[in-house]
Structure 1
Amino acid sequence: MYDLAVMWDWIGFAVRWLHVITAMAWIGSSFYFIALDLGLNRNIKGPADGEEWQVHGGGFYHIQKYLVAPEAMPDHLTWFKWESYSTWLSGAALLMIVYWVGGELYLLDPSRADITLWQGIAISAATIAVGWLLYDGLCKSAVGERPTLMMLVLFAIIVAMSWGLNQVFTGRAALLHLGAFTATIMTANVFFIIMPNQRIVVADLKAGRTPDPKYGKIAKLRSTHNNYLTLPVIFLMLSNHYPLAFATDHAWIIAALVFLMGVTIRHFFNTMHARKGRPHWTWGATALLFIAIMWLSTANMGDRYDEAAERDLTPIETQFVQALGFEDAYDTVLGNCSMCHAREPAWQGLAWPPKGIVLETQSDVARHARLIYLQAGISHAMPPPNAIDMQPEARAAIVAWYRAATGS
């Protein structure tokens, strides 16, 4: 029987790779078209709304944009949609693999909310959908007619969602779900608004009708929203690698400030691409926001890991504690891992345990059994070789214990 933990780890790796590839394609084309639209020369007479000459890869490109549509439908029309759809679908699959299948470890935090795994999964799925419903309702309301007010209200919703997620899930899951919440808004914009509006324009053109320009304006507005939301989403998707972002008491505020940084950064580049100057003040504002985030990441953290070490075991943790070989594996972890993965790490230069993972008590080790097995059992990822020379028999003890507990 193939090792299920290894299989799931490789499946997660493959899906993550796909997600990154499709995200690069989507973000690349999105940023390019925003920059192109802002940089078009609109002083040239002709049927087009603007045009631009560009040089790349040894060739010259002459690009024209029609605000509504050209007089005749071209023989070949490229639609930009699958990059967005593939990014969302692969991201949703990755969320299910990591945070649903691995929910006991990555999704649930008993110290924050006493809920079952299926309840956590239900909340996870609901938060992905509710973001779009709230955002789309705002866009179609009177608030949507006032762009500045619209973004302020959306930011308030994001802050509230950030706080709420941090009351229920682990820190890493909370920030990841806030990213999924926002990314769903972006892809839904493409699927429900931008693409249908473009299809209406194409259908009118084919039928010989003059397309209504309102459809293009609505699509452009939603595309602009996506442009400002992209950078925060990237930060949130990467945040699970950095405990100082997710494993702090102020993670929800950090996430909110990241959205403001996304606005300041994109404002600089959008203004520059539109040839309206270079508002360097945005870099100062971004730096100040980042400094605030750095301060918040360590504020009131001195006693974060001073709470009671032991707690009641969950059913899955009990399964690992009672498994054959646990005592040997536990002693191995204490001797090879706990000097760093402790509530007060002994390794010089570590103020907090790496990745926020503590491996001191039986419940700690049982909770992180799969990670210990993958990182220090069947692979040599941990501990770092310049920290401890972990012997083969020690790794074998971890492997034997994990396989006894899982029956693999």
Structure 2
Amino acid sequence: MDMTLIETWAEFAVRWLHVVTGIAWIGSSFYFIALDLGLRPPLEPREGVKGEEWQVHGGGFYHIQKYLVAPERMPEDLVWFKWESYATWLSGFALLVLVYYLGADIFLIDPNVLDIPVWAGVLISLGSLAFGWIAYDQICKSKFGDDHAKLMIGLYAILVVIAFFYTHVFSGRAAMLHLGAFTATIMSANVFFIIMPNQRITVADLKAGRTPDPKYGIIAKQRSTHNNYLTLPVLFMMLSNHYPLAFASEWNWLIAALVFLMGVTIRHFFNTMHATKKLLWWTWGLTLLLFLAVMGLSLAPVQNMDWEEDAALTPRAERFAAAAGFEDVADLVINNCSMCHAPEPGVPGAGPVAPKGVRLDTPNWVAAHARDVYLQAGVTHAMPPGAYNYMTAEDRAMIVAWYRAAD
């Protein structure tokens, strides 16, 4: 049984689940923020009702009302929005384990950044996620958190510091991913530890005949607003691992800092539109300037990729380099793949650096990326692409035999 293929399909399945649950969570979050900002005074005033909105979708009309605190009586069919958040975080953490913990020597640790053992990298990863939530939560609960503007600026400063930290501990790819996981952990923990418990307190008070304290709703709304502004940067961080120009730049931590600002400018446009119907087009102009700055920083000399040196082989890569048939496979891959997967790709459109950060122009680099070669060019016909594909069935069989001899 080929464990590499099983692991790959497991990763695909978890990634699919993560995307699906993420869409559900982000969709409901964006909807309720837009709904809350778009509420208008009721046409027929009703005690306890803060605002209402009429909506049309799918051929039907909906009349939605929001109460200042809660209705007088708790409805039996109350719908809770929580599993979208929990499932997104759990599937994301499972993906972190599958890709970055089990594949730490490839994706997590880069000796050129910080030469640490795998176990230390995993502990730093876990510890940083826990630290992020504890620090954020304590700041929000402190007197500093009473001033919303100062709080947002303070939290942004923390995210920039964490971005700098990650980029000096992990590989560029892992640093961006961890910054996304760090932020997503705060968002999901907001739901689990603050928003849902506060809502449960309100429900319990209603059932007991007590008047709910509005402070619980105010606190939950603050955390929900934070989640709203953090969503788009998290998506960028999660997608960045496919683009070396984002994660391998010397200024990747500063790129991350600017991306968080873009999240603010974009959400400010939509939040203002929902609340006031005004279209603040200047926010898109500012977003464009920020994005151009990101592009400029990404074109600076890349980090973690010393194109003048060969790959330093890990014990796993050494095993593939010593396996039967490696010399023939290395020649095959170099002849068919190095026109793109090189420091300066020779194929138009391949990019200014090796696609996905994968270099295949020396035997050591082939051994270092053995799993990618096996999956992309051995088991499947994904690579080489289109008109550049000159590999025969025999060539691919040779790659498979070599990989399985060593795995």
| Superposition deviation, residue 356 in structure 1 | 1.1
Q: Secondary structure at the match of 2:134?
A: helix
Tell me which residue corresponds to 2:156. 155
Tell me which residue corresponds to 1:32. 31
| Superposition deviation, residue 342 in structure 1 | 0.9
| Superposition deviation, residue 184 in structure 1 | 0.4
Tell me which residue corresponds to 2:82. 81
Tell me which residue corresponds to 1:200. 201
| Superposition deviation, residue 348 in structure 1 | 3.1
Q: Deviations over 1:167-218 (max 9, x none)?
A: 1211111101000000000000000000000000000000000000000000
Amino acid at match of 1:167: H
Q: How does 1:303-318 map to 2 (within 5 A)?
A: 307-310=307-310, 312-318=312-318
| Superposition deviation, residue 312 in structure 1 | 4.0
* Identical counterparts, % of pairs: 63
Q: Secondary structure at the match of 2:387?
A: coil
Contact kept in structure 2, 1:239 and 1:245, CA below 8 Å = yes
Tell me which residue corresponds to 1:321. 321
What is the TM-score with the length of structure 2 in the denominator?
0.96
Tell me which residue corresponds to 2:212. 211
Distance 2:5 2:383 in 1: 16
Distance 1:310 1:234 in 2: 33
Q: Secondary structure at the match of 1:248?
A: coil
Q: How does 1:333-372 map to 2 (within 5 A)?
A: 333-349=333-349, 350-372=351-373
Distance 1:309 1:300 in 2: 15
Distance 1:176 1:300 in 2: 21
Indicate whether 1:264 and 2:260 are aligned: no
| Superposition deviation, residue 362 in structure 1 | 2.9
Amino acid at match of 2:26: I
| Superposition deviation, residue 256 in structure 1 | 0.9
Q: Secondary structure at the match of 1:99?
A: helix
Distance 1:71 1:314 in 2: 65
Amino acid at match of 2:386: P
Distance 2:358 2:128 in 1: 26
Contact kept in structure 2, 1:340 and 1:354, CA below 8 Å = yes
| Superposition deviation, residue 308 in structure 1 | 3.6
Q: After superposing the two structures, state which structure 1 stretch, 285-294 or 97-106, moved more.
A: 97-106
Q: After superposing the two structures, state which structure 1 stretch, 276-285 or 347-356, moved more.
A: 347-356
Distance 2:105 2:357 in 1: 16
Q: Deviations over 1:374-408 (max 9, x none)?
A: 001110101113113112222122111110111xx
Q: How does 1:8-407 map to 2 (within 5 A)?
A: 8-42=7-41, 44=43, 45-47=45-47, 48-275=49-276, 277-301=278-302, 307-310=307-310, 312-349=312-349, 350-406=351-407
Q: Unaligned 5+ residue runs, structure 1?
A: none
Against the structure 1 CA distance between its residues 304 and 233, is the aligned structure 2 distance closer, same or farther, given a 3 Å change threshold? closer
Distance 2:280 2:42 in 1: 24
Q: Secondary structure at the match of 2:64?
A: strand
Distance 1:220 1:64 in 2: 17
- Quote the RMSD (CA, aligned, Å): 1.4
Q: After superposing the two structures, state which structure 1 stretch, 8-17 or 163-172, moved more.
A: 163-172
Distance 1:359 1:12 in 2: 24
Contact kept in structure 2, 1:194 and 1:219, CA below 8 Å = yes
Q: Unaligned 5+ residue runs, structure 2?
A: none
Q: After superposing the two structures, state which structure 1 stretch, 164-173 or 221-230, moved more.
A: 164-173
Tell me which residue corresponds to 2:5. 6
Q: Secondary structure at the match of 1:382?
A: coil
Against the structure 1 CA distance between its residues 304 and 178, is the aligned structure 2 distance closer, same or farther, given a 3 Å change threshold? closer
Against the structure 1 CA distance between its residues 312 and 279, is the aligned structure 2 distance closer, same or farther, given a 3 Å change threshold? closer
Q: Secondary structure at the match of 2:386?
A: coil
Contact kept in structure 2, 1:162 and 1:255, CA below 8 Å = yes
Q: Deviations over 1:137-183 (max 9, x none)?
A: 11011111011111111111111111111112111111010000000
What is the TM-score with the length of structure 1 in the denominator?
0.96
* Matched residues, number: 404
| Superposition deviation, residue 310 in structure 1 | 2.5
Q: Secondary structure at the match of 2:113?
A: coil
Against the structure 1 CA distance between its residues 383 and 311, is the aligned structure 2 distance closer, same or farther, given a 3 Å change threshold? closer
Contact kept in structure 2, 1:330 and 1:362, CA below 8 Å = yes
Amino acid at match of 1:225: H
